[in-house]
């Protein structure tokens, strides 16, 4: 965030420099006549503009940060009014100035007409009368107000953009923290079910139990290393799903008809890890009843930038389901994860009837 703030200040200062460079170039272009520049007038006007530049810089770099943003409103408006008053007094003195000594304020017109010769080569420039003090005051007051207003608005907008960026960074970090907590809730539930399965296999088939332990170690590596990242290759997620289903098949054997439909060529895309495991857990948990024949169906389809996942399982309403305090944890967590990851850019449809329970998830691919 410090780097971002530093870059914002550099960009802000660069914008100020370019704007004022453009302003100070106006006298050069306005005082050109037949490709001849009146440098004396250019310098005078630039000196006049320098007063406004001082007002702008003092307001932007001192008054706004030290007083306005610190909510010291009385001091801010007091110093601002004093600064404007000082600039107006200086400009009144410079533009009006004292009258030359010995020159009357009002010259009585002479009754004697003295014709003056007119030369074609003589440059005639009419004498400018000084502007009234009230006009000078109003002009300078309005210009100072506009300059201070523009500088203050720019400073406040820059501060708001920095705060908005900081807020987004904090939300992103909070999102990652929440997802980690949700995955940590899923992992114990998954391992508890898997260990129960292996415990059952120990008494039935020792070799199958050993094979299950090997598969479990593979899944643990996935949990410890791969799932810790924010995104993972779809190929690795598919391998994890296959290992999980194989582990579950060791327990249920022929009682469950498992169908796995996955494209032969998996695209090189990345998704959040453990996105589908909760659906599969619930499918095996609630869709399999021994010794009744059951089925599990899992399908992944990639359509352009969209990933569709369908999970179906059999239902057995006639069989009483014992109460389980962990029931539904996975599904609840996956809904929270989807909301945190995709906002409203995903579609989750759950449909059920007397014989089938189906979940369809559609997410965008990065």
For the ranges 22-26, 207-211, 315-319, 335-339, the lowest mean pLDDT is seen at: 315-319
User: Residue 268, SS3?
Assistant: coil
Helix, coil or strand: residue 34: coil
Taking residues 187-206, what's their average pLDDT? 74
Query: 173-187, 271-285, 351-365: which has the highest mean pLDDT?
Result: 351-365
Share of the chain above pLDDT 70, in %: 76
pLDDT tens for 135-182 read 878 888 888 898 888 888 888 888 888 888 888 887 777 666 666 665
Residue with tokens 């020159």: 103
For helices 277-287 and 329-342, the axis angle rounded to 10 degrees is 160
pLDDT tens column, 85-125: 888 888 777 666 554 444 444 454 555 555 555 444 445 45
Work out the percent of the chain whose per-residue pLDDT is above 90: 10
Would you say 336 and 348 are in contact if contact means Cβ atoms under 8 Å apart?
no
Give the C-alpha separation, 49 to 223, whole Å: 66
pLDDT at 297: 94
CA distance 26 to 30: 6
Q: Evaluate if residue 1 carries a pLDDT over 50.
A: no
pLDDT of residue 124: 47
Residue 321 has a pLDDT of: 52
**Phi then psi dihedrals of residue 74, to 5 deg:** -60, -45
Cα distance between residue 145 and residue 81, in whole Å? 10
Question: Average model confidence (pLDDT) for the chain?
Answer: 77
CA gap 326, 18 in Å, rounded = 64
pLDDT mean over 291-315: 90
Residue with tokens 């501060």: 159
The beta strand positions in the chain, using DSSP E, are: 32-33, 36-37, 232-233, 256-261, 270-271, 294-303, 306-314, 347-352, 356-364
CA 308 and chain centroid, separation: 28
Provide the pairing of β-strand 306-314 with 356-364. antiparallel
Contact (CB, 8 A) for 268 and 255? no
Enter the DSSP assignment of 105. S
CA-CA-CA-CA torsion sign (132, 138, 140, 141): positive
Q: How confident is the model over 274-298, as a mean pLDDT?
A: 83
Q: Please report the pLDDT score of residue 44 as a whole number.
A: 78
Q: Which domains does the chain have, with CATH numbers?
A: 2-97+131-167 (no CATH), 205-364 (3.30.565.10)
Residue 59 buriedness (CB in 10 A; 0-12 / 13-18 / 19+)? buried
pLDDT at position 327 is 46
Indicate the pLDDT class of residue 17, thresholds 50, 70 and 90.
confident
How confident is the model at residue 331, as a pLDDT? Answer: 65
221: left (phi over 0), alpha (psi -120 to 50) or beta: alpha
pLDDT tens, residue by residue, 218-265: 777 777 777 667 788 898 889 888 888 887 776 666 778 889 999 888
State whether the Cα torsion 119-120-121-126 is positive or negative: positive
Helix ranges (H only) for 259-321 are 277-287
Sign of CA dihedral 176, 177, 182, 185: positive
Helix (H, G, I), strand (E, B) or coil at 349: strand
Mean pLDDT of 20-46: 78
Over residues 274-288, mean pLDDT = 82
């Amino acid at each position: 965030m410090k780097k971002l703030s530093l870059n914002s200040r550099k960009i802000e200062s660069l914008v100020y420099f370019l704007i004022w460079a453009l302003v100070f170039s106006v006298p050069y272009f306005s005082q050109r006549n037949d490709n001849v520049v009146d440098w004396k007038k250019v310098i005078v006007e630039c000196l006049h503009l320098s007063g406004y530049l001082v007002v702008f810089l003092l307001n932007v770099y001192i008054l706004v940060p030290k007083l306005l943003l610190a909510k010291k409103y009385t001091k801010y408006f007091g110093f601002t009014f004093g600064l404007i008053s000082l600039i107006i007094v200086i400009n009144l003195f410079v533009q009006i100035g004292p009258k030359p000594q010995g020159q009357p304020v009002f010259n009585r017109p002479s009754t004697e007409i003295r014709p003056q010769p007119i030369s074609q080569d003589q440059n005639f420039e009419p004498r400018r009368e000084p502007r009234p003090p009230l006009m000078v005051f109003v002009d300078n007051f309005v210009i100072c107000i506009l300059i201070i207003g523009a500088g203050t608005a720019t400073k406040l907008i820059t501060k708001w953009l920095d705060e908005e960026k900081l807020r987004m960074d904090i939300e992103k970090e909070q999102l990652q923290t929440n997802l980690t907590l949700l995955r940590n809730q899923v992992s114990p539930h998954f391992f508890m079910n898997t260990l129960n399965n292996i415990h059952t296999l120990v008494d039935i088939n020792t070799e199958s139990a050993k094979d299950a332990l090997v598969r479990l170690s593979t899944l643990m590596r996935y949990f410890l290393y791969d799932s810790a990242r924010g995104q993972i290759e779809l190929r690795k997620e598919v391998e994890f799903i296959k290992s999980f289903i194989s582990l579950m098949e060791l327990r249920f054997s022929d009682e469950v008809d498992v169908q796995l439909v996955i494209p032969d060529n998996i695209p090189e895309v990345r998704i959040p890890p453990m996105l589908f495991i909760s659906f599969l857990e619930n499918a095996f948990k609630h869709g399999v009843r021994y010794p009744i024949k059951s089925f599990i169906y899992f399908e992944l389809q990639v359509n352009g930038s969209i990933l569709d996942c369908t999970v179906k399982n059999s239902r057995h309403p006639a069989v009483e389901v014992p109460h389980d305090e962990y029931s539904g944890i996975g599904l609840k967590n996956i809904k929270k994860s989807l909301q945190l990851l995709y906002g409203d850019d995903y579609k989750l449809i759950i449909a059920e009837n007397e014989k089938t329970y189906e979940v369809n998830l559609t997410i965008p691919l990065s």
